[in-house]
Structure 1
Amino acid sequence: MNQPTPFPGDVTTGRRGSRAALSGAAAKRVERPAPLRQAVYEALIDLIVNRTLQPGQHLVEVELAEYLGVSRQPVREALQRLQTEGWVDLRPAQGAFVHMPTEEEADQLLSVRAVLETHSARLAAERAEEADVDHLWELQARGQAAVEVNDIDGVVAANAALHAFVTKLSGNTVLAEMIGMVDRRVRWYYTPIAGRRGADSWIEHADLIRAISAKDVELAGTIMTQHTDRTRQAYHDRPRGDRA
């Protein structure tokens, strides 16, 4: 007579008891993907990153739901997720507020970013081909054009695109994943200083592209270190009026 297949994890005669215990417990199903919940979460992060929702701002569920054209439930779920990730603070009896980053938080993240992107630039200098360098110059031109017309959103987007392409050129998947984890928060910190960094930032980008084109690994790393450190310092030196 065939024996019943052992229940996973059971190594003693208690297997039937374990099966019975699960049968009697409340069902806990694996949830299917929730596109609407994810879309609301992504939309709220974008609003926070581009500073449409300012640090310290009170977030009212019904207002956000109306703005996004959804019910309050996915907004409430998204706010809870954002709270666990440090984008939102949920205060008892007060509600949800956009997190107000401290100087120390910003310094820690931008310092980590500098280490990661310096390594990325060095690897990019080793691997970049002529077509890659041409694309970097295209992104450079896009950023400079945005600076000239004071298009802050365009500057931030072009800056992120150029750095992301340098990361792609590194060919290191783990490095790319780690940089991707901090990218949104870096853009959050960069937005209020993008105008002041202005042309200087893109002069530094041009120097970086030249180093990558020349396959000068050491120079590419040095330029990226200096570039990211100047961005970090600019964040700390921003006018008091820009500190939410």
Structure 2
Amino acid sequence: MSLSETQPDAAGARRIARPVPLRESVYSAILDMIVSRNLQPGQHLVESELALMLGVSRQPVREALQWLKNDGWVDLRPGLGAYVHTPTVEEADQLLAVRRLLETESARLAAQHATEEGVEHLRELCRQGFAALEAEDVATMVALNAELHATVMRLSRNDVLVELASQVDRRVRWYYTPVARHRGAQSWTEHSALIDAIAAGDGDRAGEVMHAHTEHTRLSYLEQQNLEKSGADAGSPARPITGRRP
């Protein structure tokens, strides 16, 4: 009889945790810079510069860029190198439309299942969001926005919804960052109305508010892209889109 058969629990408890491969850490670091817009869409990614920035050799950077290319975050152009992917209007529109469907249902279910603790957590996130708005801290607003929506998802108690939402979360943050300042007070006022509906247990109202809220974000993003395209077509210099205060 083997050791695993006689002492299965003991054998499992002694398994050694493996460190995260370096290429995965590099992948996560570059992806975070892309999502936060510290690396802009269309920006050239130079392996040696990234390696120096992250304190690693070029090999894990090269491997991470290939993974990022496979996941649609980076474009590899033969003879030119790697560039941050520039999303088309169509792909952003499609993803934000799917996000609207997922989050509308999550809000409806959250109103049915939310606890007092859950509602209070949402209210605290909203209070912090208004404070970040007052301080013009866009990066914090983006992070709090993501956490508030993720909390609503968790309150829905639908594991499938939570899993599906997690698959699009980073891209939603990517698209939301350049319009966070423009959405500003309206976005957090909509959050407040959403929380009130959830607290009241009004699923229909919560769904309506979330539907309108996510649709406003989608339209704001599309408007932003049209303005940038108009500026580029007119020959004006491209304005950096960042999460930092100019």
**Residue 36 of structure 1: how far off its partner (Å):** 1.4
Q: Deviations over 1:20-43 (max 9, x none)?
A: xxxxxxxxxxxx874311111111
Identity across matched positions, percent: 60
SS at match of 1:237: helix
RMSD: 1.3
SS at match of 2:56: coil
Among candidates 158, 181, 190, match of residue 195 of structure 1: 181
Among candidates 40, 59, 67, match of residue 54 of structure 1: 40
What residue identity is the alignment partner of 1:230? H
Structure-1 separation of matches of 2:20 and 2:189: 43
Question: Match of 1:170?
Answer: 156
Unmatched 5+ stretches in structure 2: 1-17, 229-237, 242-246
SS at match of 1:97: strand
- Report whether the alignment pairs 1:150 with 2:136: yes
Q: Deviations over 1:156-178 (max 9, x none)?
A: 00000100000010111111010
**Residue 242 of structure 1: how far off its partner (Å):** 5.3
What residue identity is the alignment partner of 1:225? H
SS at match of 1:228: helix
Q: What's the TM-score once normalised by structure 1's chain length?
A: 0.85
> Where do 4+ consecutive residues of structure 1 move more than 4 Å?
241-244
Structure-2 separation of matches of 1:149 and 1:44: 27
SS at match of 2:41: coil
What residue identity is the alignment partner of 1:187? R
Structure-2 separation of matches of 1:168 and 1:137: 15
Structure-2 separation of matches of 1:65 and 1:204: 42
Q: Deviations over 1:222-244 (max 9, x none)?
A: 00000000000000111325587
What residue identity is the alignment partner of 2:104? T
- Report whether the alignment pairs 1:75 with 2:61: yes
Question: Match of 1:129?
Answer: 115
- Report whether the alignment pairs 1:111 with 2:84: no
- For the Cα contact (< 8 Å) 1:122–1:221, is it kept in 2? yes
Structure-2 separation of matches of 1:149 and 1:36: 37
Closer/same/farther in 2, CA of residues 242 and 231 from structure 1, 3 Å limit: farther
Q: How many residue pairs get matched? A: 213
Unmatched 5+ stretches in structure 1: 1-31
What residue identity is the alignment partner of 1:223? V
- For the Cα contact (< 8 Å) 1:192–1:242, is it kept in 2? no
- Report whether the alignment pairs 1:140 with 2:126: yes
